Structure 1
Amino acid sequence: MVEATPNAFPHRDAMKIWGMMWREIAFRKLNFGLALFSVSAAVACLVGTLTLLRADELRTDRLLAKKEAEVAKAGASLEDAIRRITKGLGFNIIILPEDQDLNEMHLEGSLSKQMPEEYVHRLAKSKIVTVNHLLPTVMKKLTWPETGLSVVLYGTRGEVPIQHRDPKKPLLDTVPEGTMIIGHHVSQKLGLREGDETTLLGHKFSVGKIHGERGNIDDGTVWINLAKAQELLGMRNLIHAIQALECHCAGDRISQIRAEIAGILPGTQVIERGPPALARAEARDQARQSAEDALARAVANRRELRGQREAFAAVLAPLIWVGAAVWIGFLMLGNVRERRAEIGILRAIGFRSSQILLLFLGKAFLFGILGTLLGFVVGALAVASLGEMPAGWELLRNPEAPIHFGLALGLAVALSVFASWIPALSAARQDPALVLQEE
């Protein structure tokens, strides 16, 4: 019978080595447990870092989506509020006949040139988009015959709605027929109070309202119904002006308005009342800009915070892995020294250097795999304790999850084998004769 050489049955050698490895692990539990702990800590750190960064990304997306909705809502509310406030500034666009002398309006508060009242209806039926709230008016400076007081007679009616738009709440209340509204100066000069009866150009009127002091031409104005004003001034179906409220347009607003109105009402001119118009445009721009700035700040803050966390993780994770490698190296070196006599006996009875090397590296491979599995569990539990488990599950459902697991496994095994390589190599190169002689 031929005796089998050590190389005749390599699988038996492998089984023998794995059996010895398991027995050594069972005998030296602390050494194996500390190495396993090192690998688990490194993997748990990696898993926890990836999960927390993913959680931060998801939280950032949710917060930004919520912030965008809040900014959109706040911006809309703010613009609505600004729109309501700026409406109080009054009409800021005036459409006049092109031959009307503007100095007459600016210096005397009166208009003399006329245009058909039908113009306002033509404008309302058009597809105009640059103005709203169309109001036909007559405006004439005269001496009130019955009192001798110089006033501006202002005839107005309800606003004419633009037909292709939703109805807008009027900026100016309609003056009922037979009623007049007077300015503060007129009331003071004539001693009129609300409800008093008076006569203007031979017609009876009741004082329906007295405006408070405004410090402008309105203090010396008398408002009456447009039809009655046209009758008193002999202007049936004629008006002096069409007042409007501009829509908020980007760029050169007045040029856009003039171009659009010129195409609908040739023979007219358009002027813009500067301060109210500018105040309205700037208020709306500021409302929009404040909402956009708030969102931009939120995005910048979240990005900065995420960048800081990524930078911290980029430093912390490698430090932990390097520390784990050094710790495993010391553990394996101590294990080799502790088993010096055992290694000498194994070499003396025929174990090759490669088998001794495999004995130590096999153990490193084993605690690398087990450490990866344990580290994933520990990392998940740590994340769960921070209340981020939904993000952890999101990470696992991520298509890149297998890649992350493979990366962690590969790094853990490589770390274990690399850290154990020098101690294992020194064990494999020991001279059994010298070892046994020393023992």
Structure 2
Amino acid sequence: MSRLDRHLGRVGTTAESVHAASYLARRNLARNGLRSTLAILGIIIGVFAIATLGILGSVIQLTAADALGGLGDQVIISPNADAGIERLTDRDVATITRAVGSDATVTPVVTGGSLVERGEARVFAALYAVERPSDIFVAGAGELPERHRHGAIVGSDVAADLGVDVGRTITIEGREYRVIAVLAESDGLNLLQPDGAVLIPRSAFADESYTQVIVRAESGSEAAAAADAVRSALNARTERVSILELSQIVARIDQFFGLLNAFLIAIGAVSLVVAGVSILNVMLMSVSERRGEIGVLRAVGIQREQVLWTVLVEAGLLGLVGGVVGAVVSGLVALGLFLVVPEVTLPVVLNVRTAGYLGFAVFFGVVVSLSSGLYPAWRAANEQPVQALRVK
């Protein structure tokens, strides 16, 4: 007795029926090796497209989130020029401090700009006066004072352009300042752009009133609460200040990237649906070519369910093999992004979201394959033995 005969003879239980269907499916796929390989290739391309585009969108979104850093927990308060308010006073700052309480850090800033010189070298730099610079900046060399009263704190780009370090002197508008610290290079988006700036004492400005106040909270929700408190305190009668909640901007950026990601996945899904049509064609041709064989199987007592299972398992195997291979290739591409693109970090690539896209792509590939095999399976299962045996 042949191996096929032994499998066909054991169909008494559901488990044996599925086992026999699996054997027949593998045999049929191997018999049409080139056609099966091309169908699998279509699934590989579709799964690869879905997983890779999804991962690329996720990498862009997470990289942007890293670049935005902690901006979402900050609120920017500026004088409302439309209401005739040009600057913020010490009284305004005191009101803001009372409104937000101890749950947030209030940093008033005086801003300006000027040429900064050292010998023959000169560069235009933004000028900031921040009373407690350690609240928002980090020193790369030297130490930031508790309160900035004397000397200059130089940004990393300005220090490099002028060739200065701690202890050297620079000239701003004819006044000399000794450099007491050099700021660390900024590794993300920063509201004040410290790399191209110089921090000098507030008393060095002709107008010592503030141009903006930065409120930093522990989270985006606390920042929103601080913004509401400032509105109630300063804008109850007249809208004295403009309040920019960066958490809203960050949320909109995240929403945009989410939509972009969904769009990319939809593009990948189209290619997988095309692969599903290819599988439908392969299954229909396979069933048509095997009408005589199916008639013999039905004539010797094989049930419709057995034939149905056989064709569905064929389609499922095509989807599973293509899905796994496509997901593996997509995963390798994701690792390649980490190795090639410096801005992409390993945690951005290796995370639950990436694994989710790979798993979803494989699942979707199998579902599309099974869906494509439903009609050919139904057609084969309902083939009348007498009609099938008449095939020339």
TM-score, structure 1 normalization: 0.45
TM-score, structure 2 normalization: 0.50
